[in-house]
Amino acid sequence: MSGFDSISTNNGWEYAFLGICIVFSGLVMLSLVISQLHKLLSLWDNRESLMKSFKARRKQPAEAKAEDKEPRSLAEARQQYSMLVERIGEPFALPKLLKMAEGSGLHRPHATINDLLQAGVLIPDETGYYVWKS
């Protein structure tokens, strides 16, 4: 047996197709690497300035990175959340207060509500709702 019959019986067509796919995918990968090589080289050339900027970011205090809407104290948080409670009405459910705080863009509403609960500003009533202690 010789020729195309021999190729067909010994899975030659499949091996040929697999070889073509491997070579083609290797060429595609090589072209992608070469096309993006200029970006890698520019990073390498500017590595000192990049390292300085990363170190400067790391040294910034945490207060400077905080959002403007972050309450500075429990009294400020109490004032912000009291306005939300006035809008909701008393007694209120905590999930509703949380949803309104998130919608208003207040900073860390879960933690702030927890602080207000621990401070005794939010008091649970017998029905599963909460009231605002003024």
| Long-range pairs for 52-60: beta carbons < 8 A, 24 or more residues apart | none
On whether residue 87 sits in a domain, the answer given is yes
What confidence score (pLDDT) does residue 20 get?
97
What confidence score (pLDDT) does residue 74 get?
82
Residue with the bigger pLDDT between 66 and 25: it is: 25
What confidence score (pLDDT) does residue 24 get?
98
On whether residue 69 sits in a domain, the answer given is no
> 124 is written with which tokens?
């649970």
pLDDT at 14 over 80: yes
On whether residue 66 sits in a domain, the answer given is no
> 47 is written with which tokens?
């590595």
What confidence score (pLDDT) does residue 68 get?
46
pTM: 0.45
Residues 88 and 125 in one domain: yes
**Residues 109 and 98: beta-carbon distance below 8 Å:** yes
> 97 is written with which tokens?
């207060």
Task: Give me the residue label for tokens 């300035």.
Answer: 49
The Cα 102–Cα 98 span in angstroms is 6
On whether residue 29 sits in a domain, the answer given is yes
Residues 44 and 94 in one domain: no
The Cα 35–Cα 32 span in angstroms is 5
Tell me the sheet residues that pair with 85.
Answer: none
Looking at 16, 34, 59, the residue that finishes a domain is 59
Tens of pLDDT, residue by residue over 26-80, are 999 999 999 999 999 999 899 998 888 888 888 766 545 544 454 568 888 888 8
* Structural domain boundaries enclosing 106: 74-132
What confidence score (pLDDT) does residue 62 get?
52
On whether residue 50 sits in a domain, the answer given is yes
The total number of structural domains that make up the chain: 2
Residues 53 and 100 in one domain: no
Residue with the bigger pLDDT between 34 and 2: it is: 34
On whether residue 67 sits in a domain, the answer given is no
> 134 is written with which tokens?
């003024």
The share of the chain scoring above pLDDT 90, in percent, equals 22
pLDDT at 101 over 90: no
Closest by CA to 78, choosing from 65, 99, 97, is 97
Residues whose CB falls within 8 Å of the CB of residue 51, separated by 6 or more in sequence, listed in order: none
Residues 97 and 52 in one domain: no
On whether residue 68 sits in a domain, the answer given is no
